[in-house]
Structure 1
């Protein structure tokens, strides 16, 4: 009896017909693309690209990028060099400054990245974060809202509930530590509800809002100094246009020396409530992200960024901010006695 081995020709033929090898990317091409994507996979570089492409001329000077990126110029130059080395950017020196623009061959691809891929990614992440966060703590947030509704009887329960949930969701997007997120969200919601209830009331204690990019350094230091010097004679808030996950460790050490309690300082986003309630809005490196409202006093302080500074550097920056704070308090509270040293 003869045994006939099963034929594999049909299977092999089907496999060959369905194989995408002929049209898939080669290894060399994949390595080249991965190199460029790796260079792009850094938040600061994405922001730099966005700034350059948003310029009316399609180019930007290193000095302007450093201001918007909120980091030192050598750091900006390093990141720009990385993008230039992989062919994403080109540069041209004009006098003492170097101007950067997107390489002509990649303008379309960079446009798709910033105008289509980035917004879609952010929207998907926001929906997922909000849904997951609220599903897990819904009953806790409900209790928080009920408690705060009793504290702010002039506001509707719907306003209180919405503010609590929005506060939790906003902090959940960037929080570096989530173990105390509900407690922090309750504190943030309480501040916002206070701002909502007092906005436009000229009989209340003056309120100052400090805004920087990450709300992890400069604005926290300014708020800490005001609290130390003015106590309850001023209401002080701080916020960020793009909040970080946590306050910089070196800054937290200084805040503790200023008497800040644990958990008092945490990065939070800027809200319209805080801006409307503020008598003075002080910005530090965040550009024009703050809404401009009539009747509100605005100041912009040019001070160093403690994000990459040493301990000594953070202390020097604190001294810079301290000088500005003293001038501000002298104008708002002329009779306030401020100690010679902090």
Structure 2
């Protein structure tokens, strides 16, 4: 038996039979104290909202007056909370004339991105996650074999071993995700079929195929799903749309499910589910749009890459979700106008025909 000393080292307890390691593997007390100070500064709802507003700004910064308007609090209150974040090194400030602008400190930018893009949505999802453990399939080989046989018939030009390997890899990726607990077999088949389409497309003549756009965010549960659905809505069959996540969630965010349903997506089937990012999807794409995960997406020659700074609907109010949808819709329309030499199929000028109030 051993105990942690105040310095973080492991000290042996007299009379025990187990030898203690020379150094502790746990976090040292000094490091823990510094991290605790930063976490304490972040553990305030208004500060988290301010940080989210700053990081989703198109310029990566915001002034006190803008934050006060969004947070609906006085400017002195905003200044106080930002000073708390600045004192622990989370944000930096710069005075320009009469206004002070804040941005995330470069040293913690990646950590803040992980907090807002991965941890925060996961914390919200955990409140609604099922408590039953994921047991998987009793006879994985036989089940995946049947799925593979079905897909071999759909893709006769691909070798059977390629199809089976893709099915197995797709199942493994979805199970590793951990959040997917229902419809595992049909979801595996749907994901594998999409990957096989991408594999076949990657070997086709690029000049003879319609453009394909891949939307990538962290969880593939909000922004990327919505962007892909909007592109399909506006472009029809003139452009192919895919979505994926660098760390996919277990399900599409509830607020986004309503928007997808209004766009004609069958959210109760296996049509909309978070998908892991694969090299196949990137190779098959002509355009790759990242939203909050630019550094995790493979960069291949001959592809057009864009990074869209868009808020996360999982963390937004109902009004914020609507604003994010409108922002993505404008960006999708601009992208579509650039991709197609002729106008896309006629769609409504605004989203009013399929807007629905989120619960």
Please state which band the TM-score falls in when normalised by the shorter chain. Answer: 0.5 to 0.7
Can you list the C-alpha shifts for 1:239-270, whole angstroms capped at 9, x where unaligned?
01111111110011111111111231111111
- 1:225 Cα deviation (Å)? 0.6
- Secondary structure in 2 matching 1:288: helix
- 1:135 Cα deviation (Å)? 6.0
Can you list the C-alpha shifts for 1:64-119, whole angstroms capped at 9, x where unaligned?
x957xxxx999xxx9xx89x99xxx99998876685979xxxxxxxxxxxxxxxxx
Partner of 2:76: none
Kept in 2: contact 1:175–1:246 (CA 8 A): no
Partners of 2:143 and 2:37 in 1: CA distance: 42
Partner of 1:332: 339
Partner of 1:197: 200
The 1:279/1:186 distance shift into structure 2, 3 A limit, reads same
Partner of 2:237: 232
The 1:94/1:338 distance shift into structure 2, 3 A limit, reads closer
Partners of 1:310 and 1:163 in 2: CA distance: 39
- 1:138 Cα deviation (Å)? 2.0
The 1:340/1:100 distance shift into structure 2, 3 A limit, reads closer
**Which ranges of structure 2 fall in alignment gaps of 5 or more residues?**
1-13, 22-28, 44-50, 68-80, 96-100, 109-134, 352-359
Partners of 1:157 and 1:214 in 2: CA distance: 31
TM-score (norm 1): 0.65
Partner of 1:147: 150
The 1:153/1:19 distance shift into structure 2, 3 A limit, reads closer
RMSD: 4.3
Partner of 1:206: 211
Kept in 2: contact 1:134–1:169 (CA 8 A): no
The 1:90/1:298 distance shift into structure 2, 3 A limit, reads closer
- 1:232 Cα deviation (Å)? 1.9
Partner of 2:308: 301
Kept in 2: contact 1:284–1:301 (CA 8 A): yes
1:170 aligned to which of 152, 170, 173: 173
TM-score (norm 2): 0.62
The count of aligned residue pairs is: 269
Partners of 1:33 and 1:282 in 2: CA distance: 37
Q: Greater CA radius of gyration, 1 or 2?
A: 1
- 1:37 Cα deviation (Å)? 10
- 1:283 Cα deviation (Å)? 1.1
The 1:137/1:34 distance shift into structure 2, 3 A limit, reads farther
The answer on 1:181 being equivalent to 2:181 is no
**Which ranges of structure 1 fall in alignment gaps of 5 or more residues?**
1-15, 24-30, 46-61, 103-131
